[in-house]
Structure 1
Amino acid sequence: MIPEHKIQEVLDRVDIVSLVSRHVELKKAGREFKGRCPFHQEKTPSFYVVPEKRFYFCHGCRASGDAVSFIQRYLGKTFQDAVRDLAQEVGIDLEAAQDPGLKERQQVKEATDFAAEHFRGLLWHEDEGRAARAYLASRGVSEEVAQGFGLGWAPAQWSLLADRFQKNGMLEWGLKAGLITKRNSGDGCIDFFRSRLMVPIRAPEGRPIAFGGRLVAAEDGPKYLNSRESRLYNKSETLFGMDQARDDIHKRKTAVLVEGYFDCIGLHQVGVRNAVALCSTNLTAGHLQVLKRAEARDLVLLLDGDSAGLAAVERLAGPLLAAGAPTRVALLPQGDDPDVFARREGTDGVERLLEGAQPLTAYLFATLLPAGKQASFEEKMSALERLKPVTSQVPPGLTRSALISALAGHFGWMPAQIESSLQYKPPPTPKPAVSSPYPNAVPAQAVPRPVPKPQAERPPPESEALYVAAILRDSRLLARDTFRVCDELSHMGLRMVLAQTTSGQGLEEALFEASEVVKRTLLEAGRRLSPAGMELEAEFILACRDIMKKRIDERLVYIKRATEQTQGAFDLTEETRLLLSERKELLALRKRVLDELTPASSATGTKGPMQPV
């Protein structure tokens, strides 16, 4: 947990104009700087950086925030990694303030970087990499694409990498990274990957964090071998190819999800560059958060058109439906996999297949019970049996109710009959011995209290505490954050809690690591919220409105003070004209916020509750 005062110190020392200028061409406009927004396509610059306030703001897409949120949004990094990178850049030592594993994390990073260069050099070595290059050619992977993905080669030698680690004083680092292992007998170490085409698994910004190895020119061992998890690599939060796909996902607002490394590489080879792949068989909330940070509003599953493809859809459907993620399914012809199909049909063929993708629920219903209402009783019960693992992952609430209603319409049964047949058993409710608004929270008296900080911590604003407490209770509410209020939170303690819970670390761990002030404020806010459903959603929307209104009003007050000395229209400077223009846009935004962020229960014609896929 990075202390709030350290995060604030980072923000105070970062030159936000210099930071943003690395990625956006900025021109001075009075006291501010402006340019074309990096978060949406535009011809006329509407993106402003305000050094005095240390924040950025776009009048077009309404993206806004500080230096940390810019790094998060532009590079797709987590909150913690963004703070760490900026701290290192401005010379602030977070090691003493962070967990004791930070040093190990850095060692694993350096060992992984070293290994990536080692493997890459061997692939393009004239003799050493010949077998691997032949395999790439057989799969239609060009040298340019192979270079782009950083592919490499691990020869059959037992200790080539281990010896290089030893020579460079990095042997322990290589062991921590899982790249080498100790010999079963005798001294020394051997390489973990041998006779394998190496596929670096990289973070969204492009740094290698792990590897997948495909066996080539050998028969001893599994076809694929993957790095174990480490302080650097968590497969439940990592999507292969995200570093290559991020920009295209951002532009197209759509991501194509496949199951294999070479399926993803094959799609990129033909120009479908918004494709990513799972690093495991399971899809998690952490994966969906990675896609959300890349602003993917639509997800297309591109899977094999056989029984394995259908099984994959059923396996992935549960978390997708639970998260309310808009998803479609595109199935390949029997016997094809994505990279084979892409080589044969090219970009146009893949795009046609993706355009014809079916909504996830429609695909599931039609596949599991093609005859619908006309099916026999036995067929309906068999289909429901197949659906149990899917529906069991969708908790009680609006999404589950809508899903059960849709199933009832397809089956021709009453919703109560469907629910009864599925035999869903909600998780047991904890004993109400401790007063806590969160069903899974550790009792307050059972949580060890951290060492008090020397300075008094600023309590979070009320509306921000309600916003975070509502998401802790139901993470699907993030889908209703249409104005990205998550980027507007001013309290760093709340931002840390939100970042941890949405990255899959869990509510208990987030509350355990939070300061007493943040913990107490969140518990008090939680007691004020409704348990679930439309009431909770309405309270969340009102919190969003309050936060946005406050941010806009603060900016309007600044503009008023900066322009109130103007005598008349002929005395306007360029800076004043820009500020008055911004004031007009802010007033329009304020009206939009007040109009759109109105709970469905209190206005007619507003957005209703969250809908299922």
Structure 2
Amino acid sequence: MARIPDAFIDDLLARTDIVEVINARVPLKRQGKEYSARCPFHDERSASFTVSPTKQFYHCFGCGAHGTAISFLMNYDRLEFLDAVDELARRAGMEIPRDNPQQRAPQSDSAPMYDALDAAARFFRRQLAASESARAYLDRRDVDAAVREQFAIGYAPDGFSALKDALGTDPRRVALLEKVGLLSKNDRGHSYDKFRDRIVFPIHDRRGRVIAFGGRVLGPEDSPKYLNSPETPLFHKGRELYGLWQVRQANQRIERLVVVEGYMDVVALFQHGVPQAVATLGTATTPDHAELLFRNAPDVYFCFDGDAAGRRAAEKAMASVLPRMRDGRQAFFLFLPDGEDPDTIVRNEGAAGFEARLQDATPLSTFFFDATGEGINLSTLDGKARLAERARPLLAQIPDGAFGDLMRQRLTELTGVGAAAAPPAPPPRPMRGGRGAPAPKRSLVRHAIALLLQKPALALELQPPYPFVALRQPGIDLLTEIIAVVSMRPDINSGMLLAHFDERAEAPALRKLASQTLPGDEASWREELLDAIHQLDLQVLRQRLEELQELQRNRTIDDAGKQELRTLYATLASR
């Protein structure tokens, strides 16, 4: 994938008013220098969501949601990173560059492909209106006109060139239709329609554009039952979910997603009042699918057949989900009776019946130990050891948090592995004078980082060399990196700086520091930063002094060391 240069992102965010972007979606109220609202990412009664026009980031003190205008669009509009950047770039009248020259394709390269797919979708819908047999099929499946319109369902007529003849037969047009997967070639190199005599389901991307199609046969004797577009420059089945666009349009807030296997399952659930259904496109649940699911909803229900194939599919889904099970996310598995699918169940039992089945779905935690413990006798030590051996590598993929801790605790309960008691903590060392421990000193490193997060440009006041980088203290490497980032990107603001550390372990602590309101103004912050750096530089001298004193005590110091020691004594005495 082409990478967008950091300089462009900085320029884009500098030209974007985050207050304007968020206020268009979540009404904001002015509170002093900042704006506030009830958080759009979790339920709350009081406003804990703040937007800072000076720092150019948003932060929720309730759920911890935080980021720039880009991340807001990704989380609120549920866009991919590139789509969010494209949205802001269009608003700012900017053209997106690429670091990879081979992928620096102009927008016009993809526009004809989208146009061709849209034209095909319109053609298929006209053919549905003209085909009595296709409409009768949808009538038998209880798909009404509103749902047909909602999903833009169409019909591909029988014959080898109906679509080709309608959209153009000149060589360039044919090549374009082949590129987007609408035409196939026979052994003699002749092109023909890929979809023939099938109900056609357009597949939309997260911006509502048609990127591919799925086709279903009308008669049960025909095969294959389902046919999908091939992989194209616009369509990668392992990254897309059928129906996600419709779910986003039908739900102001998506509390859950129900993952099913077929197009008609999705359509039937919508038809009968369950508008949170999506389908993988003829493939197992991939890590990209799992990330997309949880980006759109905190709870995900996987709906599979109850046979061996369904269990295998569920285990593959579980493997993709585990590394994404951060706290607040839940996954469930619903296994259907033999011969049933979501379509038949919701038509026979209605939305209430299907909802009842979802309520009884198996939680991920239960399914995990059922699946990993299959065939194992836990009454024996060998069986317990085997379960621990199977489960541990999978549990190691779960992100740090309460869910991972509880899963490991459950493994210990089942096997006894890891249950050894921790050694008792040593008693606290008594303090001289019996007055207890002194109050901890303020961390100079932490304060310097907090100041730079408030006003990154302050780092430009610091001139190399930076003696403090030699300090062996927590946070020194982070402070050094922040100064280096600002030096390379002098126009960076607080939001951009935090975005630089988004995927890092330090991100939560940095967000907490950045959300604080420090007393004083920019002039006083400058003096505080210079003083903190000066104190850290002095600590480097004391650190070196201690090293030389240790050499002196061990009688391993040389003449150069002795001279350096005398110089350090004099330097520190003068300061």
TM-score, length-normalised on structure 2?
Answer: 0.65
Q: 1:550 to 1:494 in 2, by over 3 A?
A: closer
Q: Which residue of 1 aligns with 2:354?
A: 350
Distance 1:288 1:171, change over 3 A: same
Other-structure match for 1:336: 340
Counterpart among 127, 130, 133 of residue 131 in structure 1:
133
Aligned partners of 2:128 and 2:134 also within 8 Å:
no
Q: State which of 9, 12, 18 in structure 1 corresponds to 2:11.
A: 9
Q: C-alpha distance in 1, partners of 2:509/2:159? A: 63
Q: Confirm or deny that 1:279 pairs with 2:306.
A: no
| Structure 1 counterpart of 2:512, one-letter code | K
Q: What CA deviation, in whole Å up to 9, does each residue of 1:82-141 have, x standing for no partner? A: 112322332212246554335377644542454245334533557534333222222222
Residue 314 of structure 1 corresponds to 315
CA distance change for structure 1 residues 323 and 391 in 2, over 3 Å: closer, same or farther?
farther
Measured in 2, the distance between the counterparts of 1:58 and 1:405 equals 31
Structure 1 residue 490 corresponds to structure 2 residue 492: no
- CA–CA distance in structure 1, aligned partners of residues 12 and 137 of structure 2: 47
Percent identity, aligned pairs only?
32
Change (3 A) 1:246 1:298: same
| CA-CA distance at 1:288 after TM superposition | 1.9
Per-residue deviation at 1:278?
A: 1.5
Unaligned residue ranges in structure 1 (runs of 5+): 417-459, 468-486, 499-521, 523-539, 565-613
Q: Deviations over 1:142-198 (max 9, x none)?
A: 2212222222222223233334443796544333222224554366x3222222222
Larger relative contact order, structure 1 or 2 (CA cutoff 8 Å, min sep 6): 1
- Give 3-state SS (helix, strand or coil) of 1:300's partner: strand
Match of 1:178 in 2: 181
State the distance in 2 between where 1:549 and 1:365 align: 36
Residues 415 and 66 from structure 1, CA distance in 2 versus in 1: closer, same or farther, beyond 3 angstroms?
A: closer
Query: For residues 370 and 226 of structure 1, do their structure 2 counterparts lie closer, same or farther at Cα, with a shift above 3 Å needed?
Result: closer
Structure 1 counterpart of 2:202: 200
Q: What is the rounded CA distance, in whole Å, between the counterparts of 2:131 and 2:29 in structure 1?
A: 48
The two structures, once aligned, show a CA RMSD in angstroms of 4.4
- Is the 1:465–1:494 contact (alpha carbons within 8 Å) kept by the matching residues of 2? no
Residues 30-45 of structure 1: pairs in structure 2 closer than 5 A: 33-41=35-43
Alignment partner, residue 305 of structure 1: 306
Aligned CA distance change for structure 1 residues 141 and 465 (closer, same or farther; 3 Å): farther
- Deviation for aligned residue 1:209: 2.3
Give the Cα separation in 2 of the matches to 1:462 and 1:170. 57
Q: Aligned partner of 1:550: which letter?
A: L
| 2:82 counterpart SS class | helix
Q: Secondary structure at the match of 1:292?
A: helix
| 2-structure distance, mates of 1:107, 1:72 | 25
Residues 421-470 of structure 1: CA distance to partner in whole angstroms, max 9, x if unpaired?
xxxxxxxxxxxxxxxxxxxxxxxxxxxxxxxxxxxxxxx99549999xxx
Q: Could you tell me which amino acid in structure 1 is paired with residue 238 of structure 2?
A: S
Counterpart in the other structure of 1:103:
105
Q: Say if 1:16 and 1:363 are closer, same or farther in 2 by CA, change over 3 A.
A: closer
Residue 340 of structure 1: how far off its partner (Å): 0.8
1:464, 1:349 → 2: CA distance? 57
CA spacing shift, 1:171–1:342, aligned 2, 3 Å? same
Change in Cα spacing, 1:71 to 1:56, as seen in structure 2 (3 Å) is same
2:512 is paired with a residue whose SS is helix
Structure 1 residue 216: Cα displacement = 2.6
Pick from 356, 359, 362 the counterpart of residue 366 of structure 2.
362
- One of 267, 290, 293 as aligned partner of 2:292: 290
- Out of 105-114 and 397-406, give the one that drifted further: 397-406
Structure 1 residue corresponding to 2:515, chosen from 552, 555, 564: 552
1:454-469 superposed matches below 5 A: 463=478
Partner of 2:121: 119
Secondary structure (helix, strand or coil) at the match of 2:211 reads: strand
1:232-274 Cα shifts (integer Å, max 9, x gaps): 2222222222223347888464322222222222222222222
The total of aligned residue pairs comes to 447
SS in 2 for 1:153: strand
Question: 8 Å contact 1:330–1:353 — kept in the other structure?
Answer: yes
Flag structure 2 segments of 5+ consecutive residues without an equivalent: 420-474, 483-493, 525-575
Q: 1:463 to 1:339 in 2, by over 3 A?
A: farther
After superposition, the C-alpha distances for 1:20-51 in whole angstroms (9 at most, x for unaligned) are 34323445666655555433345665544444
Once the 2 structures are TM-superposed, how far is the Cα of residue 219 of structure 1 from its aligned partner? 6.2
**More moved, 350-359 vs 544-553:** 544-553
Distance across 1 between alignment mates of 2:175 and 2:417: 62
Structure 2 residue identity aligned to 1:286: D
Report if aligned partners of 2:128, 2:135 keep a CA contact under 8 Å in 1. no
User: C-alpha displacement at 1:313, in angstroms?
Assistant: 2.1
**1:143–1:490: structure 2 CA closer, same or farther, 3 Å change rule?**
farther
Per mean C-alpha deviation after superposition, the further-off stretch among 243-252 and 110-119 is 243-252
Letter in 2 for 1:180: L
**CA 1:45–1:320 in 2, change beyond 3 Å: closer, same or farther?**
closer
The 2-side partners of 1:34 and 1:262 are apart by 43
SS of the residue aligned with 1:76?
coil
Partner Cα separation in structure 2 for residue 461 and residue 102 of structure 1 = 38
- Partners of 2:27 and 2:417 lie apart in 1 by 59
Aligned with residue 161 of structure 2, among 154, 159, 162: 159
- The offset of 1:3, in angstroms, is 0.8
Larger radius of gyration between Structure 1 and Structure 2: 2
Aligned to 1:209: 211
Asked whether the equivalents of residues 5 and 97 of structure 2 are also in contact (C-alpha less than 8 Å), the reply is no
SS in 1 for 2:302: strand
Give 1:359 deviation, angstroms: 2.1
The residue that corresponds to 1:67 in the other structure is: 69
Query: Where does residue 264 of structure 2 map in the other structure?
Result: 262
Structure 1 match to 2:228: 226
* Equivalent residue letter for 1:56: Y
Give the counterpart of 1:88 among 54, 76, 90: 90
**CA deviation profile, 1:367-388 (whole Å, cap 9, x unmatched):** 787898588999x79x98xx97
Residues 170 and 35 (structure 1), Cα distance of their counterparts in 2 relative to 1, 3 Å cut: farther
Any conservation in 1 of the 2:68–2:499 contact (CA below 8 Å)?
no
Could you tell me which residue of structure 2 aligns to residue 455 of structure 1?
A: none
Q: Is the 8 A contact 1:17 1:49 kept in 2?
A: yes
User: How far did 1:61 drift?
Assistant: 4.0
Change in 2 beyond 3 A, CA 1:85/1:180: farther
CA contact (8 A) 1:105 1:231 kept: no
- Tell me the distance in 1 between the aligned counterparts of 2:39 and 2:416: 51
Cα distance change on mapping 1:126 and 1:252 into 2, 3 Å: closer
Q: Secondary structure at the match of 2:168?
A: helix
> Aligned with 2:196: secondary structure?
coil
